[in-house]
Amino acid sequence: MAYYDWSTKMADNKMKQEMTPISREDLIAMIATMNYNSDIARGKLVTAIERRVVPWLPVGSYQNGGIYRIVPGAHGLQPDQPDPETGRWLISMNVLGVNTNVQPTLPIRSRKASFSEASTKSNASTKSNESDDSEIAGFVFHQIGTLEYWGDEVENNRSFEDAARGPWLPTGFRVVVRFGRNGAANGIYIIYDFYPEDERGERGLKVTGDYWGCLPEDRSYQQFSIAKLADTITELRFGRTFTLTAVLDYPVELVRAVKTAEDAIIRVTIA
């Protein structure tokens, strides 16, 4: 009987924790200040954003059209090769790397890249199974959620109460935090999800063809796979008009990440 009472109490406490959301302010502070190299810190973040109830985060209005928000979550983007042979312990797929120096493999409307690293892209994926701590041709990131856009007239979104009622619709993009070798956050980015869920909630087929990477409300119809949304999560809010920078208009490779002997997280260069 004592064990039953104890186990019931533990289950009740776990349920209470899952149903008690982290505050929006605390979640923003966690994302902005945590050490992403820390297994414990990442575990706390995943627990916070994977709870049954979690506050969404306002993003603002895009200069080319649309109002956006982040629905938190630690999963979504998939690497092009889930199980590369690296000889190292692979980090959970909450954390991935992006290789930006890879020849596009999908049709695109434009080949002009504004990302400073674009000039370094090669004609094929790196075939080595080594890991790369250079940030010249890519970086590592932690997934933090899904980007959604307001699906009604702009004048019907005048307050947080309006926003909470919706409607909000998917954009096809995921939101990530880029972080450096020291584990500090280094920008908020959006990345197009080339492996979206099908009607059964499964992922398998990669998006091909011409129709990918455009924000639904973008009047300029700009196509891209990755772009910088803000320098820090604390900049995001309603009433803010934002522009996208560091835009890559060709498909990029997403890869797994590993730990170094110095306890830093780096990307695997093989895709």
Dihedral angle computed from the Cα positions of residues 239, 243, 246 and 250, in that order, rounded to the nearest 10 degrees: 110
Tens digits of per-residue pLDDT, 54-89?
A: 999 999 999 998 999 999 999 999 998 888 888 888
- Confidence (pLDDT) at 126: 37
Q: Which of 184, 187, 145, 163 is nearest to 51 (CA)?
A: 145
* 104: confidence class by pLDDT, cuts 50, 70, 90: very low
Dihedral angle computed from the Cα positions of residues 99, 100, 105 and 111, in that order, rounded to the nearest 10 degrees: 180
Q: How many CA atoms lie within 13 A of 267 on its CB side?
A: 27
* 145: confidence class by pLDDT, cuts 50, 70, 90: very high
Q: Which of 153, 125, 149, 151 is nearest to 137 (CA)?
A: 125
Tens digits of per-residue pLDDT, 192-240?
A: 999 988 777 677 678 777 789 999 989 888 999 999 999 999 999 999 9
* 107: confidence class by pLDDT, cuts 50, 70, 90: very low
Strand pairing report for 138-150 and 131-132: unpaired
SS3 31: helix
% of the chain exceeding 90 in pLDDT: 56
* 9: confidence class by pLDDT, cuts 50, 70, 90: low
Tens digits of per-residue pLDDT, 22-36?
A: 999 999 999 999 999
**Which residue ranges make up each domain of the chain?**
39-268
Length of the chain: 271
SS3 58: strand
Look up residue 230 and give its DSSP letter: E
Tens digits of per-residue pLDDT, 157-200?
A: 888 888 888 899 999 999 999 999 999 999 999 999 999 887 77
